[in-house]
Chains A and B, each alone.
Chain A
Amino acid sequence: MPEIKVTPLGAGQDVGRSCILVSIGGKNIMLDCGMHMGYNDDRRFPDFSYITQNGRLTEFLDCVIISHFHLDHCGALPFMSEMVGYDGPIYMTHPTKAICPILLEDFRKITVDKKGETNFFTSQMIKDCMKKVVPLNLHQTVQVDDELEIKAYYAGHVLGAAMVQIKVGSESVVYTGDYNMTPDRHLGAAWIDKCRPDILISESTYATTIRDSKRCRERDFLKKVHESIERGGKVLIPVFALGRAQELCILLETFWERMNLKAPIYFSTGLTEKANHYYKLFITWTNQKIRKTFVQRNMFEFKHIKAFDRSYADNPGPMVVFATPGMLHAGQSLQIFKKWAGNEKNMVIMPGYCVQGTIGHKILNGQRKLEMEGRSTLDVKLQVEYMSFSAHADAKGIMQLIRMAEPRNMLLVHGEAVKMEFLKGKIEQEFSIDCHMPANGETATVTTNPSVPVDISLNLLKREMALGGPLPDPKKPRTMHGTLIMKENSLKLVSSEQALKELGLNEHQLRFTCRVQLQDPHSDPDTLNRIYTHLKSVLKGYTIQHLPDGTVMVESIVIKVSSSAEDTSTKVLLLSWSYQDDVFFCFFFVSFLSLIFSKQWLRDSIDS
């Protein structure tokens, strides 16, 4: 039986450095190539030595597919392609291709320039790596080679995030990457058709969570910002440059528009400006509202949101500032925070999760006095709010996706083991399909039962259609006679005559014969006649012929009567039939015997 093997090199029962190897139908595919945020050593990148100890990966991998531009899904890409060595195609969607290098460059800068690491990939490597990228469009089927084809589906989550269907012959795997089943302010919801893959590899970040509606959170967020602005306070929103930041911008922008507010909104410059540029370009990847209205006005052409300048922080009056980074651990957001922390009118809204040890984490936990470098302390008087805006599917969303795709097997990655365990149980219970959750380096194997396509000649099909009863009857499978020819890797079903012709063989007929003795005083033709009339009355609906040469034919069964030389009343019946009619003959014979042993027959015999 053919097998599909899935081995996570990263993201197996873990979040971070997503990297999953799939071998399907003799092809090896790498799904995502990410880095782990939590480590600074070798564990940061997936262990590519699993594929090969030395040498390049090109010969072991048929293609690499990147689902979206988050670093935990693409961070190790230049390392893999340039430093380990891979020259094959790398597939990603257009927006991912556009934004990915910006993030990689930023990441490189921080690691090399700020932290001073050596032996890291260079800008040139990023460029070289991006040259190997082949862009994908949504719902476009791309032939990687003759057998392997891939197709991208919309996944929500971030701009350009895609789910990928990988197909070899009739076997297929769907990898979701990160996805979101509820639409947000700038992106739509993930969607897939009923493609019934053999394996659905799904992320499971929120395997044990069912979230409240987005609207409540949005409303709370807007209300808080609005109240603070009305009081004349300043609002700081620390964000990461991409993804949520754009969602919040849209949210505030439309709110400002709706409510006719005048207070300025600023956005810290740099990375984000570049990214916003791409958001403007890739309108087709956004949600319904933005797509429909961009003709009048591109929603990412912000009217109220302006670039931030360091000096603005001291301006009087209310304002809203988006600043990076998101956890208040360094950079502009921290600087602004320090400036504004003293005033209780001001507010800071943390839109995401904060890692332990960061200032963000501390203030979220209610710490009101912060120790800064240089032994100074900072009194935190401003209001601290927490708003979760996360774009992963929750447990219900995952189940919904499974329902949409109807996979034969499930495989969970990108989540914590305990949580996966719960979801696994649920999936097995609800859908009664197998669910796997391999750890890193562990291989999950799924045997498939692929259907084998066979060409059938049109004539044969039409003939069989004409034979059968009225259409349709999908419940009853119908048997048909034909000859299967296997020739040069292709299968063909043709009628037997054609097969004979093609193979240059003569047709042989196989017939069975048997003799039956019976007592009958009549003459031979009379006996035959009586048999004929009887059969005619019994076997209605069959063609029964009395041929002039002294035989009776029922379909292909031939009946002949001859009397033995010594006793004219002992008749010998010769029966002959072809092997195709074997089954029918049994039936025929039974009815025939009933004729012989029937009283009618006997009485007639006695009478005469």
Chain B
Amino acid sequence: MAAHLKKRVYEEFSRVVQIPQEEAPAKKLRLSKPSKSAALHIDLCKATNSTDALQYLLHFARKPVEVESVEGVVRILLEHYYKETDNSVRLKIASLLGLLSKTQGFSPDCIVDDAINTLNNEKSHQVLAQLLDTLLVIGTQLPESPTVRQRLIEMACKHLSDTYFGVRNKCLKLLGCLGMADTPLTKDNDGPGASLGGVRDIQSIISDFFGDQDPRVRTAAIKAMVGHRRHLVFLCVCVCVQACRLLSDDYEQVRSAAVQMVWVLSQLYPESIVPIPSSNEEIRLVDDAFGKISHMVSDGSWMVRVQAAKTLGSMLQVSHHFLEQTLDKKLMSDLRRKRTAHERAKELFTSGEFSSGRKWADDAPKEKLDTNTVNLIASGACGAFVHGLEDEMFEVRIAAVEALSQLARSSASFAEKCLDFLVDMFNDEIEEVRLQSIHVLREISTHITLREDQLDTVLAVLEDSSRDIREALHELICYTNVSTKECIQLALLELLKNLNKYPTDRNSVWKCLKFLGSRHPTLVLPLVPELLSTHPYFDTPEPDMDDPAYIAVLVLVFNAAKSCPTMPALFSDHTFRHYAYLRDSLSHLVPPLRLPGNGLDLVDSRCGSGSVESAQLFLQQSLNRVSTIQNLEAPGAQDLLNFTIRDLQRLGELQTELAGAADFCATYLRCQLLLMKALQEKLWNMAVPLCLKQNVTATAAAQQILEETYKLEFLYSGLESRQVATIHHVRLQAKALQLILTARTRQGLDPLISSCEKFLQDIESFQRLFVAELPHLQDSFVDKLLELMPRLSSCKPVEMVKILLATLRLSGLLQLRLPEQIHRATATIIEPTGESDNPLRFTTGLVVALDIDATLEHVQDPQNTVKVQVLYPDGQSHVIHPKPSDFRKPGPDRHRLITQVYLSHTAWTEPSQIEVRLLLAYSSSSTSLSSSSASKLGWSDSIDSLPPPEAAVEGTIPFSKPVKVYIMPKPARR
């Protein structure tokens, strides 16, 4: 092997060295790809001093190295390594070795020997440390080789006694990373007793370093142990004890790592029993660990506090009373027990008295406490969150809030308990914390019912001037349960106040009331006469239908009435009329009601009864029906498709849950229909010059299909690789059609050849992308093409076009299989509304900022894909990329874009309208890479190592209704 390598390296140099000597142009051609290793060698030879060499190396490190030449480069580097006297250069070489071993497709086992060899001869500590790091990289690249690992571990053990902390650090890291890989060996018990012993040894070796004098080494030891532990299942109580001792280390990094170790231990053996020191009792390990980590929430260093608080959130197995202790806080004043404000509030509420807080001695202490029972040092988990939530650093507070939410989600009673604390956090000084606690409360709100006083505090935040806070709170109210009708009244009142103060919140407030109403119909019922201000005897004046506050009340009432059939009896006449109006204008807020008489109910009841299942069934049936079409030219197929498309579109309108799926199918079918139409033209039989006119329609159809396929691929989320394959298939068909059309219209072979080649490439890449899906594509266009592939690639363009045409016309309709959830990305621009008649005036040459507020649904990664397009009347258009921070995420699959776009134009004589719309940008290459997310994993795996298949197709899809804005650039005044 070595000899072979040498030869190869030699070859490489010799080639390069020869260039300047022989000036043969032929050779130069061959060297169009100069070998990296050779170039490096020359550079290094040229380097006269160490700084130069370092410069070369640095420069070299910036460029990637191809797999084939890695080995040669490594050899050269090693050669220089031996010659080099300067530490820094050797250090850089060592680090480069590590970097190179990471190169994909390169197996570093051949350089293990050399690396170890260098390690043995090295004197400088820094270089030693770097070499060990390199070894670690090599070790992780060769997970299957036990001998290499064994050797590396030996090396690490040997250097553990080094005096330089860095070397010890790296040794421990090496042990931690490579020791873990021993797991498979320890499983079979017979043979590898030695390796079992070895593993034990590693553990005890690492734990020896828990007491190292250098905190950095201690940290590394703990981290190594943690890494080790993840894969090993051994329990040593001693490790536990050591870990706990390290929790009180002087250095924050050690404590922080120790917290992590305790956590790992507790996750590994939650149920094992540990004794409590200084007593006979025993508790579960997870409880013990929980207590210890809770203690760290009041640590001196905020980094540790953050870590501890975060960790607490993930310890879900902890027992109940331990969990509740974290919120425990015994107050005392002059040695007397005092009730907390929370307890007082609760008491006031239960006693029926309204909150006073007016007396000075209101919080006067009660009973005298026995001095012995007061525990000042919180033992165990006591009050951990009380501390965390009051912490000085907002990072800690946020971590604590998050931990609370995680724990509360798993325990209803804890959720109930932490409610008061979360509500308190609404008053935090930092908006982020407030927002976070509102979100958390929303997440756990399924568990809880708000008391009136709590609701009061929650609602007080509605007046916050920050829009995010208010909207988060609306979201929260949507999910809250309240207990009394007073609460409803209170909430309504506050929401109306909010509406009055911030009219832009209109939609959000209405939505909020919708949920409030539908959640608490029985509580709304007694309020109805008051809310609608009806009177048993007198007719009251009809309220103004345009008043947003009145609409808000109606939304509440109608939603409550949906599940409360007695309610409509309380409505007055105009209420019914208003219902009809609102049902039409705000159908998303007002539910269908079964109203007596009025004739309104038949429409509503019918669409109300249509369940999702039946719609689903219908969808499936329609698709099945379409699948009966055998051939694109089959008679009657077009009609069938036409009808099905119409049905599907209507279905999408009726059943919002299936809108995405129905839309998707309809678009797909439309593609097929277009294709069919294009193929059915009689033109194919005509002579070329005669059919120019028809060609136009066919070309347009091909173009349209292409566009639609991009929409299909990028506008819908939840697609599986099967559907993507189908879409690509259609695209391929469209491309084939295009090719045929070009062949017919254009003269000259050259362009035809290149487009044929391109098409062949497309087929190849299709094949590569969807290997897994090919079995499902039997009898399809692609399937046939692939069969004919050998012929296609060898034949002439004209012949190929003929084959394509034939296959295209014969290929059947690919049946669309629906995945479970398909959502269409949608965007609605809320602001500007486009209703304003007042033009936005600004001076020419200056800019004016236009506020844009839009909601996006089912858009993946909006930060990168969503753009704003501004279209001026003169046809100019600008595309603006909003900042990532302009996107907020109010809920799952929902995004909110609040941004400003800057407009500017030359002077106009009169105001005119510009159009603003949102675009969804896509790029076919980026998706095939980024689509590793979730659903498309299946095929993205296979292409990982391959270069991107084709030149990326980039484009944008408009996915919101354009909004018109009146603007008026005035000429500048002189």
Contact = CB atoms under 8 A, between A and B. Distances in A.
A194 interface: yes
Interface string B338-378: 10111000000000000001111011000000010010111
B209 A422 contact: no
Contact of A191 (B300, B329, B331, B333): B300
Nearest to B340: A212
Contact of B334 (A209, A211, A212, A471): A209
B803 to A, nearest CB: 68
Interface string B373-414: 010111000000010011111100000000000000000000
B424 A215 contact: yes
A472 interface: yes
Nearest to B249: A194
Contacts of A465: 163
Contacts of A471: 160-161, 163, 212
Given A193-B300, A259-B464, A404-B300, A217 B358 contact: no
Interface in A182-238: 182-183, 185, 188-189, 191-194, 208-220, 222-224, 226
B464 A258 contact: yes
A519 B787 CA distance: 106
A365 interface: yes
Of B341, B363, B391, B429, which is in contact with the most chain A CB atoms at under 10 Å from its CB? B429
Contact of A209 (B333, B463, B501): B333
A287 interface: yes
A395 B298 CA distance: 14
A254 B389 CA distance: 20
B392 A188 contact: yes
Given A287-B392, A425-B371, A395 B424 contact: no
A208 B430 contact: no
A131 interface: no
B212 A395 contact: no
A400 B250 contact: no
Given A287-B392, A474-B211, A217 B341 contact: yes
A425 B371 CA distance: 9
Contact of B333 (A189, A208, A258, A400): A208
Contacts of A395: 332, 376
A603 interface: no
Given A258-B464, A430-B377, A289 B429 contact: yes
B376 A183 contact: no
Contacts of A357: none
A434 interface: no
Nearest to B162: A471
B493 interface: no
B466 interface: yes
B374 A216 contact: no
Interface string B497-534: 00001000000000000000000000000000000000
A399 B163 contact: no
A257 interface: yes
Given A212-B340, A219-B457, A383 B358 contact: yes
A183 B160 contact: no
B interface bracket (residues with beta carbon within 8 Å of A): 35 or more
Contacts of B160: 470-471
A385 interface: yes
A310 to B, nearest CB: 29
B465 A258 contact: yes
A588 B312 CA distance: 60
Given A257-B465, A396-B376, A215 B390 contact: yes
Contacts of A366: 359-360
A369 interface: no
A364 B362 CA distance: 11
Contacts of B208: 472-473
Contacts, number: 131
A422 B371 contact: yes
Given A211-B331, A212-B331, A222 B394 contact: no
Nearest to B428: A215
B427 interface: yes
Contacts of A288: 392-394
A183 B388 CA distance: 12
Nearest to A471: B161
B570 interface: no
Given A260-B463, A403-B377, A419-B334, A224 B357 contact: yes
A61 B887 CA distance: 63
Nearest to A430: B377
Nearest to B218: A472
B392 A399 contact: no
B358 A219 contact: no
A260 B393 CA distance: 26
Contacts of A226: 460
A403 B297 CA distance: 13
Interface string A253-289: 0100111100000000000000000000000000111
B74 to A, nearest CB: 33
Nearest to A257: B465
A338 interface: no
A288 B395 CA distance: 10
B424 A213 contact: yes
A122 to B, nearest CB: 41
Nearest to A191: B300
Interface of A: 182-183, 185, 188-189, 191-194, 208-220, 222-224, 226, 254, 257-260, 287-289, 364-366, 383-386, 395-396, 399-400, 403-404, 419, 422-423, 425-426, 430, 465, 470-475
Given A182-B390, A212-B340, A422-B335, 9 more contacts: A192-B300, A210-B329, A212-B338, A220-B357, A289-B429, A364-B360, A366-B359, A366-B360, A396-B376
Pick the 10 closest A-B CB pairs, nearest first: A216-B341, A183-B392, A215-B424, A386-B360, A260-B465, A474-B211, A470-B161, A364-B360, A189-B392, A259-B463
22 contacts: A182-B390, A183-B391, A188-B392, A189-B391, A189-B392, A192-B300, A208-B332, A208-B334, A208-B335, A210-B333, A212-B329, A215-B389, A220-B357, A257-B465, A260-B463, A366-B360, A395-B376, A399-B376, A403-B298, A470-B160, A471-B160, A472-B212
